[in-house]
Amino acid sequence: MMKKRSSGGSQEINASSMADIAFLLLIFFLVTTTIASDKGLTIILPPKKENQPQIEKNERNVYVVLVNSRNQLLVEGEPMNLADLRAGVKKFILNNGADKNSSDNPLEAAVSFKTDRATKHATYVRVYDEITAAYNEIRAEKLGVSTKEFMSFDKEKAKKEPALVQKAETFAQKTDFVGDDVVGNYLNYDENSKDKRKQRMIDAYKAARTSSKVLFVEKYYDVQKQFPKRISKAEPTKVE
Amino acid sequence: MAQFRKQNKTLPAISTASLPDIVFMLLFFFMVTTVLRETDIKVTYSAPGATQLEQIEKKSVVSHLYVGFPKDTKLGKEARIQANDVLLNAPNEVRQWVVNEKSKLRKNEQGEHTISLKVDRDAKVGIVTDIETELREIDSRRVIYNANRAADAK
């Protein structure tokens, strides 16, 4: 009788505390988990000063954005509110020679952004963000998608989505007929391309993104590079 | 009465035996997703807001650099740079750190090495510029300014 009892006790381990233990561990990991917010504004810095070729750039093709130590904005010599900057940049890029004091075409157009050393980083990021937003909005418009769609473009996923690749390719074909005044010309940007027309575009692009006498900018935001980068990554390796 | 008893037999208490399994499943999920913070952040960091954010594609090629005001008030009020676990004394120390970080990567990934700048929103541009000058010198020019999503002005 005694034997039976003891064996009955050890027949199965009471598992009810298992849940408690697991919960404890779970809560520990819940608390320590930091879902990393690895998001930010990307930028490719210009090469070091000695490596920068001196390139003349027409003054009207440079949109000068200055921010002082009190975080105030001076755009093309006039004070401006941050809220108006995006529209200003867009108008400048898409001028296409209409206004004699504004850019010749989007390829030539460049935004020079310079801040004081004492400017707050938050302001710096916001201004850079607005300039990027202007470019992104133009690109989205040219692509015929909403800005949100354009921004949520997932490069890795896009490789697997032929519909998006198709969209990019038809756009590239279209812009071949439109001419140089379309930002999307850089769609087929490829460093090693042998196509002369593309090569010209690349040269222009390279010229545009290096600092010049007129520019003497600390940072040069040629976001056009990011446009082709964004799309060309989506394309499968192209056979020419 | 007999009927009542019968019903009682068919409806025992809900078994909680599967509860640990469920909890374990959740536990494993969090264990896997958890990235234990390797470094102790010694400077203040509250991310600035921006709208045109891009996700870092390859996390393995990214090195993080913190810039902010020291939490330890004895260290002064000037913004400092933190690389891994140490506060740097001068921006030119960034150079050695980046070279070190880069050498940890595989050869074919070294060109993609990206520096994620986690700069406190109240820090000044000056110190960031100093870092960037160093980065340009050693041709490590891919940079991400970490930021939180902010409501679009438009």
Q: pLDDT digit string (tens) for B30-72?
A: 888 776 666 678 888 888 888 888 877 777 888 889 999 998 8
- Residues of B within 8 A of A22 (CB-CB) are 20, 23-24, 27
User: What is the structure's pLDDT at A158?
Assistant: 47
Q: Which residues of A touch B142 (CB under 8 A)?
A: 42, 44-45
- A169-228 pLDDT tens trace: 454 444 433 333 223 333 334 444 455 555 554 444 444 333 222 222 222 223 333 332
Q: Taking CB atoms and an 8 Å cutoff, what residues of chain A touch B16?
A: 16, 19
Chain A closest-CA separation from residue B8 CA (Å) = 23
Over range A92-120, report the average pLDDT: 80
pTM assigned to the model = 0.65
Question: Per-residue pLDDT averaged across A57-70, rounded?
Answer: 80
Cross-chain residue pair A117–B135, CB shorter than 8 Å: no
Residue A173's pLDDT is 47
Pairwise pLDDT comparison (B34 vs B119), residue with the higher score = B119
Question: How close is the nearest chain A Cα to the Cα of B2, in Å?
Answer: 30
Longest Cα–Cα distance of chain B, Å, equals: 91
pLDDT at A199: 52
| pLDDT score for A145 | 64
Residues constituting chain B? 154
Looking at residue B9, what is its pLDDT? 60
Mean pLDDT of B91-99: 90
**What ipTM does this complex have?**
0.76
Which residue type occupies A38?
A: D
Report the pLDDT value the prediction gives residue A212, as an integer from 0 to 100: 26
